[in-house]
Amino acid sequence: MANHEKKAGRLRFGILDVAIGLAVLACLCGVVLRYGIGGSLGGNDKLSDAKISFLVLDKNRDSVDGLTEGTEFYLKSDGSRIGTLDAGLSIMDAEVFFQDIDGTIEKTQSSDGHVDVRGTLSVSGRYNSGEGFFLNGRTFMATGGKVEVYTETCDFTLIVTGITLLTQ
C-alpha cells in the first residue's frame, strides 16, 4: 500500500508540468509560424511551376562562363535551391551611362569586357494576387527585387524582371 501511494505521488501532475507543457506548445507554434507550416497543414502548400526572368548587371565576361542550361541556382541567404537555368541565356555588353559634354546622360555599351546577362529560371512557388509570389512557398519574390544568389561557379546579384506562372 505504501509503495502504491509513493508511486501515485510521483506521477502527480503539477502546475509546473502545465507550464512546461505550455512552453513546449509555444515552441511548436513558433516553428509553425516561422516556417509557414500552417499553410501546408491547411492544404495551401500546392506549389506551381513558374518562370522567373532575371537580369544581372555588369559582370566580368569570364565569370559567367559557367552559366549553362540546367545550372542550379541557390539563395545566398539560406542556401535553399531556387531553380534551374533555362536555355536561351542572353549575354550582352554591359550598359553604361555617362555624362555627355552638353550635360545630358547617354547610354552606351561597355567595351572593357563587362557584360549584362538576361535569362530565365524554372522554379516552383505559390502565388496569390493579394500577396504575390513566394518561391518554394516561403521566399517572397517580385519584379524589381534584388536577390543574392550563387551557382557552383559564380556569385552574383540578380534583379527579378518578371514572374510567369505556368500552372495554377
Partner 1 sequence: MEVKSKNGKGIYRFNGVDVLILLALIAAAAAVVLVLGLVSGNGNDQSVKVEYVVEISPVRDEFLGKIRVGDTLIDSAGKYNIGVVKSVESVPYTEELLDSGTGEVVAAPYPEHSTLRVTVTANATKNGGYYSIGGFRIAAGTRVYSRFPDFLGEGYCISFRVIDG
Which residues sit at the interface with partner 1, rule CB under 8 A? Answer: 5, 9-10, 12, 14, 16, 19-20, 22-23, 26, 97, 99, 101-107, 129-133, 140-146, 159-161, 163
Bridge partners of residue 3, in order along the sequence: none
Whole-number minimum distance, CB 2 to partner 1, in Å? Answer: 8
Whole-number minimum distance, CB 14 to partner 1, in Å? Answer: 6
Q: Which is nearer to partner 1, 112 or 146 (CB)?
A: 146
Whole-number minimum distance, CB 25 to partner 1, in Å? Answer: 11
Give me 166's grid cell. Answer: 505556368
Report which of 135, 164, 142 is spatially closest to residue 75, judged by C-alpha positions: 135
Q: Which is nearer to partner 1, 39 or 132 (CB)?
A: 132
In whole angstroms, what is the distance from residue 82 CA to residue 134 CA? 11
DSSP, collapsed to helix, strand or coil, labels residue 32 as: helix
Element (H, E) at 5: helix 2-10
